[in-house]
């Protein structure tokens, strides 16, 4: 039994040794094959490289040119990639430039006791934007509310982003809930084509809109200035027109939506003053002109200047003997600010008492602009006032205000603005009339003399 076990162990050991030897021999054989294969592959590659160099040497210029063409193609691709990267960098620089803080006109610094929060309705319009400029330069916080029917963002774009300025796209026919100290209520279309375009909306703006502004003034205890108009006098039978004159207005004529709308606005103002103790001011504004006037507002100044600049016929409606008085916009803004700062609560005329006939005014524009335009009379318009001249004795006495800018000086600035506007061919060509820094009328006109 022990003999059998001993033989079995020896047999097992022998078989294990045989398996190890067999594995070793198989591994050695595979290693030799791999070595031979690698050696043969190396020889074949060396042989091919040698043949390739020989062929290149034999083929001469043709192959050399092919290689050079490939190098040129690679160079062109690298140049295109570099140009693409440059364009990307330029785009990034433009985006970074937009993040650079905008430069604003210098404004006066007021502390929290002196600085007011002032709301200007219609502040993106012709008169409103000039008023905004003066209030901003004075250091106040200004909130502009406009529905942009006749106003334009371009009129106030130089203030957008300033910490003291805010622009709200809003129609004052709808209530507005903000906190302010003063309200300049200028919102309303003011030229015949604009206020006749939608008479019902004109009436609503001057009635419902005025109620909303007076209600806001009542809630927050703000002082409110209502911008009325010389149109409340209608076609006057008293000349010049004092504030005590009640007017001569056609209540159902084409101008009635504006004339009667402003008359109701005045009535509302003094009803709120008496019943609700609202602190109101009323300015009756006469004809005003200057930069930022709407190009197609249909008024005398804009019509005549555009027709003269385009070498078209200057059209005078009617016989041309109707009279108007024209004040420059900076004079009006000074009067509005003076009225708001005063303690005077009765209506005040703000206009230039220097009177001109429409025919005289057409001649002045023609001579100022030059060109081949001639003056032609056409049919008169309905309800066109025959005489218009303000009595400004109340403004002189209570505000210490009177217009300073001579007609020819203001017209030159207006013509220059209109000329640039006509030269624009794209939106990128800006024609922005930015305010001068705290320049009074005398300094502004020092280098200009009326002919």
Catalytic sites, residue numbers: 258
Q: At what angle do helices 126-137 and 329-341 cross, to 10 degrees?
A: 60
d(CA 391, CA 339): 16
- Catalogue the E-assigned strands of 307-394: 314-317, 323-325, 327-328, 348-350, 355-357, 375-378
CB 326 within 8 A of CB 289: yes
Q: How far from chain centre, in Å, is Cα 48?
A: 74
d(CA 416, CA 421): 9
Nearest to 391 by CA among 358, 335, 343, 350: 350
Q: Which residues contact 110 (CB under 8 A, 6 or more apart)?
A: 138, 139, 140
User: 395 is written with which tokens?
Assistant: 């403004």
Tell me if residue 315 falls in helix, strand or coil: strand
In the 8-state DSSP scheme, what is residue 148? -
Tell me if the bond preceding 357 is cis, omega within 30° of 0. no
Residue carrying the six token digits 């800006």: 430
Backbone angles phi, psi at 428, to 5 degrees: -70, -20
Distances (CA, A) of 174 to 159, 182, 271, 279, 414: 25, 19, 21, 22, 34
Residue carrying the six token digits 């809109």: 209
* Radius of gyration from C-alpha coordinates of the chain: 42
Q: Give DSSP secondary structure letters for 244-284.
A: T---B--TTSTTHHHHHHHHHHHHHHHHHHHHH---EEEEE
* Triad 226, 333, 256: Cα angle to 5°: 40
User: 400 is written with which tokens?
Assistant: 């210490």
Nearest to 323 by CA among 366, 367, 291, 353: 353
């Amino acid at each position: 039994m022990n003999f059998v076990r001993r033989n079995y162990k020896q047999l097992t050991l022998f078989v294990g040794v045989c398996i190890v030897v067999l594995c070793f021999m198989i591994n050695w054989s595979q290693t030799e094959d791999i070595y031979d294969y690698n050696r043969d592959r190396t020889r074949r590659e060396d042989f091919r490289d040698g043949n390739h160099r020989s062929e290149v040497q034999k083929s001469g210029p043709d192959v050399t040119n092919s290689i050079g063409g490939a190098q040129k193609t690679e160079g062109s691709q690298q140049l295109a990639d570099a140009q693409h990267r440059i364009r990307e960098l330029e785009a990034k620089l433009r985006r970074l430039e937009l993040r650079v803080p905008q430069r604003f006109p210098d404004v006066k610094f007021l502390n929290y006791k002196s600085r007011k929060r002032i709301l200007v309705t219609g502040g993106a319009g012709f008169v409103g934007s000039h008023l905004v400029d003066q209030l901003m330069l004075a250091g106040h916080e200004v909130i502009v509310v406009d529905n942009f029917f006749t106003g334009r963002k371009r009129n106030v774009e130089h203030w957008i982003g300033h910490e003291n300025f805010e622009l709200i796209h809003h129609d004052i026919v709808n209530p507005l809930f903000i906190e302010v100290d003063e309200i300049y209520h200028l919102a309303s279309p003011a030229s015949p084509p604009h206020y006749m375009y939608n008479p019902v909306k004109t009436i609503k703006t001057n009635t419902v809109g005025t109620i909303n502004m007076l209600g806001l003034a009542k809630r927050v205890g703000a002082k409110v200035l209502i911008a009325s108009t010389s149109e409340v006098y209608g076609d006057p039978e008293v000349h010049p027109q004092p504030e005590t004159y009640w007017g001569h207005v056609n209540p159902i004529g084409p101008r009635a939506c504006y004339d009667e709308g402003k008359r109701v606005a005045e009535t509302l103002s003094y009803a709120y003053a008496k019943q609700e103790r609202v602190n109101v001011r009323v300015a009756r504004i006469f004809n005003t002109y200057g930069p930022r006037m709407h190009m197609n507002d249909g008024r005398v100044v804009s019509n005549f200047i555009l027709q003269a600049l385009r070498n078209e016929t200057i059209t005078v409606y009617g016989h041309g003997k109707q009279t108007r008085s024209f004040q420059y916009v900076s004079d009006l803004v000074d009067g509005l600010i003076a009225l708001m700062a005063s303690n005077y609560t009765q209506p005040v005329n703000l206009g230039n008492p220097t009177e001109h006939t429409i025919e005289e005014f057409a001649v002045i524009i023609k001579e100022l602009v030059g060109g081949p335009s001639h003056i032609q009379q056409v049919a008169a318009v309905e309800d066109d006032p025959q005489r218009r001249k303000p009595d400004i004795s109340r403004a002189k006495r209570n505000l210490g205000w009177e217009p300073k800018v001579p007609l020819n000086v203001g017209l030159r600035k207006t013509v220059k603005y209109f000329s640039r506007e006509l030269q624009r061919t794209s939106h990128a060509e800006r024609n922005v009339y930015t305010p001068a820094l705290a320049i009074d009328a005398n300094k502004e006109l020092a280098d200009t003399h009326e002919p």
